[in-house]
A and B are shown apart, each in its own frame.
Chain A
């Protein structure tokens, strides 16, 4: 059994999952902070 497809699949899941988590957290933080700032400017 060739082990490399298993190794690459495991790395793809780990790195893909971590990157997706970081992207989601970053985008939700930027959106929430921009929304809070927009109301501050309007006030």
Chain B
């Protein structure tokens, strides 16, 4: 892992990986979306609205995983001062913010026919909204630090402190039992959802995750190219 902190070595991996992530992500997403929309049966209680599950759950997962990535990059920056960690944090933030926003929007749309309301100050919804605002704060701070020529330490500290919100989001459905349903899928303990309804979910989960990865790689490549351009410009102006 430490080896990829070298920008040249990272680019050697990132250039081919961007296309692989993008195309495999799209290939998995297509059957997941079509299956979720038109093939799976309606739920006995929620009817057709259960189909929102196949996009809402991956968006929630990526909104949270994005901040976990920012926290890991922040830790690497503070402890090991990896040259790529600040770039990685800045690359993950817009993608994480987009998926957190998609999670909030699709959840709200799902809530209207299911709960009879677009929004409720429920523990899960509120903590997810806070995550979205944390993303906006991180983006503003990290961009401002880069413009000032700073080393990105303030943004890294913000990234680490913001990670406190992740367990709050995860356990919110147990701590405050209001409108949002409890956990129905767990990594270790299986699922309470019928297999006929569940099968498109792994496809959309992995598909969206690979597209998220492709966005992060593209943003990191863009930042590295911009840094290279600025360095060359400085070199030519001093010659």
Contacts and interface: CB of A to CB of B under 8 A. Distances in A.
Interface of A: 1, 3-4, 6-7, 9-11, 13-15, 17-18, 21-22, 24-26, 28-29, 31-33, 35-36, 39-40, 42-43
Given A22-B22, A39-B236, A43-B232, A6 B109 contact: yes
Given A32-B223, A33-B225, 4 more contacts: A10-B106, A10-B110, A11-B55, A21-B94
Given A7-B49, A22-B211, A29 B102 contact: no
B138 interface: no
> Interface extent on B, as a size class?
35 or more
B217 to A, nearest CB: 9
Contacts of B211: 18, 22
A29 B228 CA distance: 13
B20 interface: no
Contact of A36 (B95, B106, B226): B226
Contacts of A22: 22, 211, 214-215
Contacts of B221: 29, 32-33
A25 B109 contact: no
B218 interface: yes
Nearest to A38: B229
Contacts of B222: 25, 28-29, 31-33
A28 B105 CA distance: 26
12 contacts: A3-B49, A13-B109, A18-B211, A22-B214, A25-B214, A26-B218, A28-B222, A29-B219, A29-B222, A32-B229, A33-B222, A42-B236
A13 B106 contact: yes
A25 B49 CA distance: 31
Interface of B: 22, 33, 37, 47-49, 51-52, 55-56, 59, 94-95, 98-99, 101-102, 105-106, 109-110, 112-113, 208, 211, 214-215, 218-219, 221-223, 225-226, 228-229, 232-233, 236
Contacts of A35: 225-226, 229
A29 B218 contact: yes
Contacts of B233: 39
